[in-house]
Structure 1
Amino acid sequence: MSRPPHTHARHRTGRGGRITSRLLVLVTALTLTTACSQPSTEGSAQVTEQAAPGFPVTVENCGRKLTFDRPPSKVVTGYHPALETLLALGLGDRIAGRTNFSESAFLPGQKEQYDKIQEISPTIMLPQKEIMLAQGADFVLDNSMAGFDAAGGYATVEELDAAGSPVYILGGWCSPEEVLTFTLDDTFDDLRNLGKIFGVSDRAEALISELQGELADVKKRVEGRTPVKVLATDGGEGPVNAFGGSGITNQMIVAAGGENVLKDVKGDYTEVSAEQISASEPEAILVSDYATLRGEDMPTSQAKAEEAFAIVRNSPAAKNKRYLALPVAAQHPGYRNILAITDIARFLHPDAFAQ
């Protein structure tokens, strides 16, 4: 998903010709060199007079320093994990516009909030340049650079900065290279930064503590158990769209007590030959799931699993028909990817969760 699968509009190049957001990330890596459009000048008396209590605050993102004199109040979010993350921080009332989300199930309690927010794009991608600039947002949150590509008709980061709409990219997915260096700590860093930006650091730290507690519980449960050999795939009969040993999906597999059979393959979302997949001998398979996009030319998770079973037909995974449909939104930066680790661990090590 380097995604992102939209994207993370997404854009997967599935058999249906959908462009995968993961691949869109590779389309363009924009150079971010401008400062946030709400920059405050350090030491300025004017900034001191205008700043809200506890502000200004400065965070770093994509090689830029973004400074805010007050919490954003008119936010636009891109691919759904960005919206989910703000809702988890209790910031739904700050979101003025969002993109469409119809590729998998909502997290508990979030669908009602989603329905109350204006939809400004019928896809998971941000709207085209004119529409985006007309939003008058004071903060834009997304998790890939795909939605800021001028060649695709989108407003660039620089143009949004100039319009007073600073951009923050989750997970440090600021370039194809940085997609590969993602670690779970990046999600916690994002939560901490968003807490500062919105003046809700206490909420952010409480959420971080809760999520770290869940990860610690998983680690304790799977500790000492033999890692389960896992193939993570998004389908294909050859080459296969699969997940290598770099990036977010590999991080989740390892944290859940698994071993990625493609750990030696450089890349996150990448194409792997059927021969290499056949030789991998997985014990379990993770399938990227676009639950509500089934139909048309988008294969079901079960269909993609059957494709994988046919390729690794002599493997333990194929013999036991053992697979888990993993919501594609969980394979992108955001609050959900931490939650998904528990689900993967329960799938890989059910006995560890029997009590």
Structure 2
Amino acid sequence: MTAIRTAAPRFGAAPVALPLTLVVALTGCGAQIEESAQADTVTVNRCGEEVEYTTPQNAVVYEGGSADKMFALGLTDHVHGYVMPPANPPVTESPWADEYAQVEFLSDDLLNKEVVVDAGADFVVAGWNSGFSDERGITPEILDDLGVQSFMHTESCYNYPGFPERVEPFEGLYTDLERLGDIFGVRERADETVAEYRARVEAVREQAPEGDPVPVFLYDSGTDQPFTAAAQVPPNDIIRFAGGENIFGDLDERWTQVSWEAVVEAAPEVIIILDYGDQPAEEKIDFLTTSPHTSELPAVRSESFFVLDYNEGISGPRVIDGLESFAEYLREHAAEAEDTEGAA
């Protein structure tokens, strides 16, 4: 039972009330913000560290999750450009394709200091170890020394050196929208957006199948050893909110490598395929179907595969769409299982 689904985007676009130093004119679905001569400053947490921000005007965003958060808050005019490695799905497939078209594509490389400096950025949005990196020489501290403000996905903060912050992945999304709302003076818009997302999540949880949670394995990549989602990334919440159980949800990590022996022992009944990069989802399914490690897994025998788009699996507004699509799939899976048991 293989499913490839794309949920229709449903994002709020209500007008917002802003401080007197800002004038808001709504056009289309985004808020156009015109700054007064003096920019506002506000203190907001960057992971566990309090940071004073001046309203950014020239942001660089890394990957779809960062861009989507800005676009969802109507902040397109504050985004100079985006860095999008080639493994990411095309931005033309985004519900914010029009917004992407209004800003500059800066690089298809990993985030680096040179592209930030060359863009004249005054603000960078990325995750810790998924954008910002000690090894590649681009960290919030380095950018602070350059006079460039930075913001990290709260979901990635649990092991941020010196200033860790631990939240559940979906709560990290809500926190980011609220904090960005404070930084840019659009907190009312942020609160309305978060309220909509919470309501959509609660509706899913209320419809979760009854009974024991279905064991679910997320397959990212890897042949010798699989790469998968542990407790600290959005797919863990997607799985449990929909009524499943992530077979590696007890690992206190983000994306991690495990063993095929552990996968076999957990006997997943559903496999989520994370779809990105040069290897199509069907190739991943073919591998799992033919590999001696996995060909006898319950999920493989019943062809219970669900394809999750990359941007529905990383911290960003599209995880709500991913949750709704997977939840629908899991409800259908549960119904088919009941029919099979009834016919036996």
| TM-score interval, smaller chain | 0.7 to 0.9
Matched, 1:227 2:209: no
Match of 2:302 among 320, 342, 346: 320
Distance 1:288 1:179, change over 3 A: farther
What corresponds to 1:67 in structure 2?
52
User: Contact 1:143–1:332 (CA<8 Å) still a contact in 2?
Assistant: no
Match of 2:329 among 334, 347, 353: 347
Query: C-alpha displacement at 1:302, in angstroms?
Result: 1.7
Match of 1:57 among 22, 27, 42: 42
Distance 1:351 1:242, change over 3 A: closer
SS in 2 for 1:57: strand
Q: Which protein has the bigger strand share? A: 2
SS in 2 for 1:307: helix
Query: C-alpha displacement at 1:150, in angstroms?
Result: 5.4
SS in 2 for 1:329: helix
Match of 1:200 among 159, 183, 186: 186
What corresponds to 1:183 in structure 2?
169
Matched, 1:288 2:268: no
Amino acid at match of 1:168: F
Match of 1:329 among 286, 308, 311: 311
Task: Out of 216-225 and 344-353, give the one that drifted further.
Answer: 344-353
How many residue pairs get aligned? The number is 293
Query: C-alpha displacement at 1:151, in angstroms?
Result: 3.9
Query: C-alpha displacement at 1:170, in angstroms?
Result: 0.9
CA distance in 1, matches of 2:269, 2:333: 16
What corresponds to 1:156 in structure 2?
139
User: Contact 1:236–1:304 (CA<8 Å) still a contact in 2?
Assistant: no
SS in 2 for 1:90: coil
Matched, 1:301 2:281: yes
SS in 2 for 1:340: helix
Match of 1:168 among 151, 164, 167: 151
Query: C-alpha displacement at 1:307, in angstroms?
Result: 2.6
CA distance in 2, matches of 1:223, 1:321: 20
SS in 2 for 1:167: strand
Query: C-alpha displacement at 1:225, in angstroms?
Result: 4.6
What corresponds to 2:64 in structure 1?
80
What corresponds to 2:73 in structure 1?
89
SS in 1 for 2:224: coil
TM-score (norm 2): 0.76
What corresponds to 2:243 in structure 1?
257
CA RMSD of superposed structures (Å): 2.7
Query: C-alpha displacement at 1:278, in angstroms?
Result: 1.6
Amino acid at match of 1:169: M
CA distance in 1, matches of 2:89, 2:226: 22
What corresponds to 2:196 in structure 1?
210
User: Contact 2:270–2:305 (CA<8 Å) still a contact in 1?
Assistant: yes
Identical-residue share of aligned pairs (%): 26
Query: C-alpha displacement at 1:284, in angstroms?
Result: 0.8
CA distance in 2, matches of 1:218, 1:50: 45
Distance 1:202 1:173, change over 3 A: same
Instruction: Give 5+ residue unaligned stretches, structure 1.
Output: 1-48
**CA displacement, residues 139-188 of structure 1 (integer Å, 9 cap, x when unaligned):** 21112345443542x44322322333211001241364769864321111
CA distance in 1, matches of 2:313, 2:157: 16
User: Contact 1:230–1:283 (CA<8 Å) still a contact in 2?
Assistant: yes
Task: Out of 262-271 and 82-91, give the one that drifted further.
Answer: 262-271
CA distance in 2, matches of 1:247, 1:192: 19
Distance 1:208 1:246, change over 3 A: closer
SS in 2 for 1:136: coil
**CA displacement, residues 71-128 of structure 1 (integer Å, 9 cap, x when unaligned):** 32211111221001111111111101211255225465412221221122122x22x4
Distance 1:287 1:179, change over 3 A: farther
User: Contact 1:171–1:334 (CA<8 Å) still a contact in 2?
Assistant: no
Query: C-alpha displacement at 1:246, in angstroms?
Result: 4.3
Amino acid at match of 2:140: V
Match of 1:122 among 94, 105, 108: 108
Distance 1:175 1:227, change over 3 A: closer
What corresponds to 2:227 in structure 1?
241
Matched, 1:143 2:143: no
CA distance in 1, matches of 2:157, 2:151: 9
SS in 1 for 2:207: helix
Distance 1:287 1:180, change over 3 A: farther
**CA displacement, residues 205-233 of structure 1 (integer Å, 9 cap, x when unaligned):** 11111101110110111163542221111
Instruction: Give 5+ residue unaligned stretches, structure 2.
Output: 1-35, 336-344
What corresponds to 1:134 in structure 2?
118
